[in-house]
Structure 1
Amino acid sequence: MVKMRDVAKLANVSVATVSRVLHNPETVKEATRKKVLSVIEELNYQPNMLARQFRRNETNIILVVVPSIMNTVFSGIIEGIEYEASRHGYRVLLGNTNRKVENEYGLVELLKQKQTDGMILLSERMDSNYIKTLSEEYPLVLATAYIEGLKVPSVSIDNISSSREAVEHLIGLGHKKIAHISGPLQFAMSRDRYKGYKQALLQNNIEIRNMLVQEGDFTFESGYNQMLKIMALEKTPTAIFAANDEMAMGAIKAVKELGIDVPRNIAVVGFDNIGFSSKFDPALTTVAQPLFEMGQKSMKLLLQQIQGVPLLKEQYILECDFIVRESCGGKRKEKVITEKITT
Structure 2
Amino acid sequence: MNKASVRPVATVHEVARAAGVSAATVSRVLNGTARVAEDKRLAIEQAIAQLNYKPNVLARNLKSGSSRTVGILTQSLASGYFADAMAGVDEALQGTGYAPLIVSGHWKPEEEAERIALLIARRVDGLVILSGKLEDERILALSEQVPIVAFGRELQGENARGFCLDNYRGACDAVEHLVQHGHRDIAFIAGPPDHRDAQARLAGYRDTLARHGIPQRTALEAPGDFSESGGLQALERLLASGQRFTAVFAANDLTAYGARLALYRRGIAVPDQVSVVGFDDLHSSMYTTPPLTTVRQPLFDVGQRLGRAILQMIRREPLALEAPQPTLVIRESVRAV
Q: TM-score band, normalised by the shorter chain?
A: 0.7 to 0.9
Aligned pair partner of 2:328 in 309, 322, 327: 322
Q: Please name the residue that 2:3 is paired with.
A: none
1:128, distance to aligned residue in structure 2 (A): 2.1
- How far apart, in 1, do the equivalents of 2:153 and 2:169 lie? 13
Q: Please name the residue that 1:117 is paired with.
A: 125
Q: Please name the residue that 2:185 is paired with.
A: 177
Identity %: 31
Aligned pair partner of 1:57 in 61, 65, 81: 65
- How far apart, in 1, do the equivalents of 2:222 and 2:145 lie? 39
Q: Please name the residue that 1:276 is paired with.
A: 284
1:154, distance to aligned residue in structure 2 (A): 1.5
Amino acid of the structure 2 residue aligned with 1:96: S
- How far apart, in 1, do the equivalents of 2:226 and 2:181 lie? 26
- How far apart, in 1, do the equivalents of 2:83 and 2:257 lie? 19
- Structure 1, unpaired ranges of 5+: 19-35, 337-343
> Aligned with 1:63: secondary structure?
strand
Q: Please name the residue that 1:146 is paired with.
A: 153
- Structure 2, unpaired ranges of 5+: 1-14
Query: Kindly tell me: are residues 232 and 17 of structure 1, through their superposed partners in 2, closer, same or farther at Cα, counting changes over 3 Å?
Result: farther
**Residues 218-250 of structure 1: CA deviation (Å, up to 9, x unaligned):** 110000001111122232211111111110010
1:212 aligns with 2:220: yes
- How far apart, in 2, do the equivalents of 1:181 and 1:280 lie? 19
- How far apart, in 1, do the equivalents of 2:135 and 2:303 lie? 22
Q: Please name the residue that 1:93 is paired with.
A: 101
Q: What is the alpha-carbon root mean square deviation over aligned residues?
A: 2.9
> Aligned with 1:298: secondary structure?
helix
> Aligned with 1:241: secondary structure?
strand
Amino acid of the structure 2 residue aligned with 1:90: Y
Alignment of 1:7-22 (within 5 A): none
Determine if contact 2:68/2:97 at 8 Å carries over to the other structure.
yes
**Residues 158-177 of structure 1: CA deviation (Å, up to 9, x unaligned):** 11111110110000000111
- How far apart, in 2, do the equivalents of 1:135 and 1:187 lie? 23
Determine if contact 2:285/2:292 at 8 Å carries over to the other structure.
yes
Larger Rg: 2
Query: Kindly tell me: are residues 231 and 5 of structure 1, through their superposed partners in 2, closer, same or farther at Cα, counting changes over 3 Å?
Result: farther
Determine if contact 2:75/2:132 at 8 Å carries over to the other structure.
no
The number of residues matched between the two structures is 302
> Aligned with 2:243: secondary structure?
coil
Q: Please name the residue that 2:4 is paired with.
A: none
Normalising by structure 2, what TM-score? 0.81
Q: Structure 1 stretches (4+) deviating beyond 3 angstroms?
A: 1-6, 14-18, 43-52, 149-152
Determine if contact 1:65/1:94 at 8 Å carries over to the other structure.
yes
- How far apart, in 1, do the equivalents of 2:91 and 2:189 lie? 34
